[in-house]
Structure 1
Amino acid sequence: MSSAPHREAERGGGQQTLERVPLELSTTESWLDPFDWYAEMRENHPVRYDERRRVWDVFRYADAARILSDPMTFSSDPTRATELDLPEPEARGPLFETMLTSDGSRHDRLRGVVEESFRPRSLVPRAPHIRDVADDLLDDVVDRGEMDLIADFAYPLPVVVIAELLGVPTEDRPTFKRWSDTLVETPADTSEAGLEAFARERRRVDDELRAYFEAILDDRRTDPRDDLVSDIVHAESDGETLSHEEAVGFCILLLVAGNVTTTNLLGNAVRCLTAHPDAMARLAADPTLTTTAVEEVLRYRSPVQALVRVATRDVELAGADVHTGDAVVPWLGSANRDPAVFDAPDEFRIDRTPNSHLGFGRGTHYCLGAPLARLEARIALEQLFARVTDVERASTELDPVRSAFIYGVRSFPIRYRAHPETTPRPQVETVDDGATTRRTDRNA
């Protein structure tokens, strides 16, 4: 069995320790396609200790599933780690007070505040509106013959939907993107000065987010509405007793997680399909395949590639001696390509069944927003291929999202033709009289 001695490893950069990526992912090519490295690690080093990051990296499906399914042994609370540099309590951002970093009854209490709103049955009535949002976005670009899939479609769709659910202004979405990018990306400059500058920017964004949601929470206390922020305020003020920090952190988590995952899921989906034109043709001809196609994207190019857990006791993991307080990183992107679980794992099959991927995690921390992300992705792909045809990449250069756990591209230019069988939609405008919202035909 192997064991990593607890030595004086590289220090500095505060919270950035968790946000650094392995040296093997230090090039643009490896950010975009880490899968050869995953295969090598699964074969030769399925559990390895990275002294630079002071974490155990875990690459096989069985080990990753074990970690995610055992929160008693592998905690989601990073403050339990003994070898990570974390900010002092007074300097920690509001996300430290969310279900993302909580275990046990506290996690269940926080998740229960909004869980019902994200159940599939609760989302069914929202499907027609999501379809309208998708069509509105496509109306703006379909006749151009080209667009940046991320900027024009994959980002605005989920951020509009989650902003409406929360009850925050959708016109603030450029600011939401800046905040989200800062919170999920890793520092490009890992020098001491670069890390300090990154930490300052992170603190500035934390302060801006806190101020933004504190104002909205205060408004909902006196003027509750039918939205998630009002639900969070209600849980804070009645017997559920959310603290102020928990309420602010909850809003931030829902805003960021509610758009980042789906944006990259959609971007990764079209990246997969343009690389596999036969699959794209099948999907366009048979939209009933969209559900399994989304699941295959979640496996093949999962928008979340890694998670972090902390060992709460000494434990053996695939022959390695993991000690209490050690940070453990299960690489979901590697587990989802494990040939011990998936037949021909490096093949992209839009009809793959069964498909027991870990794209949304597993266990008590299974992604709360998974039903919404699946619904948005399915509707978005259905509407996209109903409106355009002959979709192809318009650039050979891709700029990866530089994150320790989120996987995707910042931009994805595509060319296409407007579908010849598509009837132009009527020009419509949204009229909001303060009580109801209706759509009217401007040409009527």
Structure 2
Amino acid sequence: MSGADIGGLQTFPDALQGRDAWLDPFDWYAEMRENAPIRYDPTRQTWDVFRYEDVKTILANDDEQFSTSPRNIAGFQEPPEDEGFLLETMLLQDPPRHGELRSVVEGAFEPRSIRELEPRIRTLTAELIDEALVDANGELDVVDALAYPLPVIVIAELLGIPHDDRDQFKRWSDTIVRGADEDVDPEAFVQEQQQAGQEMAAYFLDQIERRRQQPQDDLLTTIATEEGESGQLSHREALGMCMLLLIAGNITTTHLITNAIRCFDEHDDDLFATLSDEDGSLSAAIEEVLRYRGSVQAMTRVPREDVELGGKQLEAGDGIVVWLGAANRDERQFPDADTFVPDRSPNQHLGFGHGIHYCLGAPLARLETRVVLDELLTRLSDITIAPDADLTPVRSSFIYGVESLPLRFERDE
């Protein structure tokens, strides 16, 4: 699965090809919601869906009218045996197989299990902040210091990945989800992504075999136990599960953290000082971040049968991109939708999806983001994005965030 597509669909429309457009796509979303809420793009051979009710309807019917599997796309070509691991993940499987795959690891991501991780996550966050502040001199890049390393460390520890291998993991996952820039040779770009996927697969094959021989208390052992003739997972499903957990377990959280800081900074210079973990205001503000600048802006679906939606006829096998980022700014659902409202309630956003494919890692992403922001707000004051910051959007067709985010602050002694 290339970063330039989701499940075989090219998601980037022409309007979002430029850097500035992807940094703030929301004016284009508004135009589409008003003038072309469901439209067919002949260049991409894909339907785009922008309004909240239509997006939610599609996501709510994954088990009936719509599929997440790219194998249902008209003209789909199966990738080579050593490249199609991500196709076997729960993300791209329909019921009943989706539920069977999800059940293998969902116990580790239940809210109670995740709450037990808070002390460890808080310790890791404090250590990372201490390390960053040694030479910070009133400024640090929150991506390098916190938003990038913390989620990688946490998911690596859950999987049971050795400490020395974490940076390699981050490189692999970043490469796989990245979209191609206009000045990049397409063939070389695809080869780079395929190479990253093959290297990651080879690594996990070795780790799964090690867990069979020497089981440990980690998710890799859980997956290894379920892989094989006597277990629930096929060989490719076991590899796909490992790769999905690694990629989804760090990429989206990294950008949720940085998107939150952008939202807080843009809203009010005093907002950082007023949010609190104790009174719930920080958690509420994070929910508004998920609506206002969610880490995942798009998902794909495929009609199982001919479907009429919003007066348009979608045929079985058509590609569909549902724009979560546009749905979450729909005035029909959210009053004053283009305003960041930290205490918005109710807030039925689609930041983690909806329906049976609702994000398995949502509790972990929320916890990590809350802990990071709470520690920053507790230990630093006068936090602002550096005035000279040159924000560069992550080049992905569905992940939304920035590559770096330099902050200026005062240190609370």
> 1: distance between equivalents of 2:299 and 2:176?
15
Please say if 1:186 is aligned against 2:174.
no
- Residue 165 of structure 2 aligns to which amino acid in structure 1? D
Select which of 393, 399, 402 maps to 1:406.
399
> 2: distance between equivalents of 1:175 and 1:19?
27
Among all aligned residue pairs of Structure 1 and Structure 2, give the percentage whose two residues are the same amino acid.
Answer: 49
Q: 1:339 to 1:40 in 2, by over 3 A?
A: same
Q: How does 1:228-307 map to 2 (within 5 A)?
A: 228-237=219-228, 239-276=230-267, 277-283=269-275, 288-307=280-299
Which is greater in Rg?
1
Confirm or deny: 8 A CA contact 1:20 1:186 kept in the other structure. no
Helix, strand or coil: the match of 2:320?
strand
Q: 1:287 to 1:212 in 2, by over 3 A?
A: farther
Structure 1: gaps (5+ residues): 1-12, 421-444
Confirm or deny: 8 A CA contact 1:142 1:388 kept in the other structure. no
Q: Deviations over 1:316-343 (max 9, x none)?
A: 1111110010011110000000001111
> 1: distance between equivalents of 2:7 and 2:308?
27
Confirm or deny: 8 A CA contact 2:273 2:377 kept in the other structure. no
The equivalent residue for 1:390 is 382
1:68 Cα deviation after fit = 0.5
The equivalent residue for 1:423 is none
The equivalent residue for 1:78 is 70
The equivalent residue for 1:221 is 212
Greater mean deviation of Cα atoms: 20-29 or 264-273: 20-29
- Residue 298 of structure 2 aligns to which amino acid in structure 1? A
The equivalent residue for 2:360 is 368
Confirm or deny: 8 A CA contact 1:315 1:322 kept in the other structure. yes
Greater mean deviation of Cα atoms: 87-96 or 102-111: 87-96
Q: 1:16 to 1:332 in 2, by over 3 A?
A: closer
Please say if 1:417 is aligned against 2:407.
no
TM normalised by structure 2 equals 0.94
The equivalent residue for 2:321 is 329
TM normalised by structure 1 equals 0.88
Helix, strand or coil: the match of 2:280?
helix
Confirm or deny: 8 A CA contact 2:83 2:198 kept in the other structure. no
- Residue 123 of structure 1 aligns to which amino acid in structure 2? I
Select which of 62, 80, 100 maps to 2:91.
100
The equivalent residue for 1:152 is 145
1:170 Cα deviation after fit = 2.9
1:237 Cα deviation after fit = 4.6
Confirm or deny: 8 A CA contact 1:93 1:206 kept in the other structure. no
Helix, strand or coil: the match of 2:81?
helix
Confirm or deny: 8 A CA contact 1:54 1:83 kept in the other structure. no
Confirm or deny: 8 A CA contact 1:69 1:362 kept in the other structure. yes
1:280 Cα deviation after fit = 2.0
1:19 Cα deviation after fit = 4.0
Q: 1:310 to 1:374 in 2, by over 3 A?
A: same
> 2: distance between equivalents of 1:309 and 1:16?
9
The count of residues paired between Structure 1 and Structure 2 equals: 405
